[in-house]
Amino acid sequence: MNSIFSSLQKIGRAFMLPIAVLPMAGILLGIGGAFTSGPLIETYNLTFLASGTLANQFLQMCFNAGLFVFANLPLLFAVGVAIGMANLNKETAALAAVLGFLLFHTVIGTLLGFQGITPDSVTVDALLAAGKSPAEAAGIASMYAHELGIFTLQTGVFGGISCGLLAAYITNTFSNKQLPDYLAFFSGNRLVPVMTMLYFIPLAFIFPLIWPTIFQAIVHAGEAFSSMGYIGSFLYGSVMRLLNIFGLHHAIYPLFWYTELGGVQEVGGQLIAGGQKIFFAQLADPSVTHFSSEATRTMTGGFLPMMFGLPAAAFAMYRCAEDKNKNKIKGILFSAALTSFLTGITEPIEFTFLFVAPALYAVHAVLEGLSYMLMHMLDVAVGITFSRGLIDFTFFGLLQGTAKTSYQWILILGPVYSVVYYFLFSFLIRRFNYSTPGRNEAENKLYTRKDVNEQKESGLTEAIVEQLGGIENIENIDACITRLRVTVKDASLVASDEVWRSLHAKGVIRSGNGVQIIYGTQAEIYKNQIIAHYGI
């Protein structure tokens, strides 16, 4: 179980790299799509944005710049996963991923040609002419696609992840190999491309044999999730919030956003798989009158708790604090609430009460699940790039209009969620005397930039490494938005939670040799300082 946790944690961390590209791409796509919309231009008489104008051409460029990212997600995942999973020589892993990805699909395309399968023979019309039923024709056609112009199997993001994992394995295994003198030129990093060619050709041979079965299983799993209806949306929202405790949500939600698990829909004459991909394909299609809430059911539900619920919870914690401490904790709670509202990054608030009052987090998870269910029931379809704050709500809700998104329900139910969170948190904190900030001698210091600079000068990063058992005990170190994610060789050498609190950590999560230290938005900075200082 511990090894599974560690592996999922590492995979989730690897997924974060390609996903980090999406917010900017989504914003470009959203702005370009919104302000080149014919109805918008006509309704508000925005003649300076009309077709053919310089402004329109610039927005079209923004639109296409964003669209190409979503069109090439498999390659981005191949490179991102390879970099994330490689222990050393990450740049070599990235090259291996690109080389392997191209080789993988080239070989598959060649094998399909040997079987007489061509782009023309697997169109829906061609399959119908061959006697297939409409359902069979659509199912068969959906298994094929083009990747960077190569006709191949529709392996999508799963294919990219597979290529990335294999590229990382090859890099980890061969990048430090020393060959005999007569082959010394190919030692080390230069051996990786050679082994990439040797490993990826067999992988490409195997995929046409196993992928149709795997593909159908994934499609059926997605159909099963869809058949669960509103209950499925509730379970997804609640479970993902609970997985967030362990940082494992990053390993799960991309499968719903970018693969058939999140559904398959026809958009603009093409079959699109994955909830987020469907949303952005519809965003790019001016003929779509209302975005699909089936596609966004794994995204939209987060707006109510993130924009309205958790800020109200922060206010409840402030009101429940002892009077003498209110001025001290006001800054940190306001900052955390604003972060949640604007960006949808919730961990600064959540980790102020997770460890001192787990029951509050359980209530939060249930309320989030209810939000996902309500948004699905009300046909609200506001997509996201990364999180559910005001920024994404503006670009993919407000700018797209109520006709396409039904975003008005978020504004209607948002204040209701604020009231529910405020009174529930206030009641539970007082009833059970939870040690939230400002109560029962709980830590109530607001860390400023000056404090962080003082910590750097006093050797905080060296202290972190020391309490992890020393640099020789660190096998791998990385960070997500708020957590240092470390794999250690001997978990018994890692310091106690009390020691970590003295080093200003908000919490620690352990499983086997995996350790996550919650440092808020400074986590990435500490990781970079440790890597630079120790030459990891």
Which active-site residues does the annotation give? 480
Evaluate whether 127 touches 141 at the Cβ level (below 8 Å).
Answer: yes
**3-class DSSP state for residue 49?**
helix
In whole angstroms, how far apart are CA 532 and each of 17, 449, 462, 527, 528? 20, 21, 12, 9, 6
- The DSSP secondary structure of 56-67, one letter per residue, reads HHHHHHHHHHHH
Report d(CA 278, CA 282) in Å as an integer.
6
In whole angstroms, how far apart are CA 524 and each of 115, 479, 521? 49, 5, 7
In whole angstroms, how far apart are CA 155 and each of 74, 152, 210, 257, 259? 8, 8, 11, 15, 9
- Residue 401 identity (one-letter amino acid): G
Other Cβ atoms less than 10 A from the Cβ of 457: the count is 8
**3-class DSSP state for residue 513?**
coil
In whole angstroms, how far apart are CA 229 and each of 263, 301, 372, 382? 12, 14, 11, 18
Question: For residue 64, how many C-alpha atoms fall within 13 Å in the half-sphere facing its CB?
Answer: 5
Residue ranges of E strands in 122-209: 144-147, 150-153
Cα 62 → chain centroid? 23
What residues form DSSP beta bridges with 510?
A: 515
Evaluate whether 279 touches 383 at the Cβ level (below 8 Å).
Answer: yes
In whole angstroms, how far apart are CA 400 and each of 40, 71, 133, 510? 9, 21, 37, 43
Residue ranges of E strands in 32-189: 144-147, 150-153
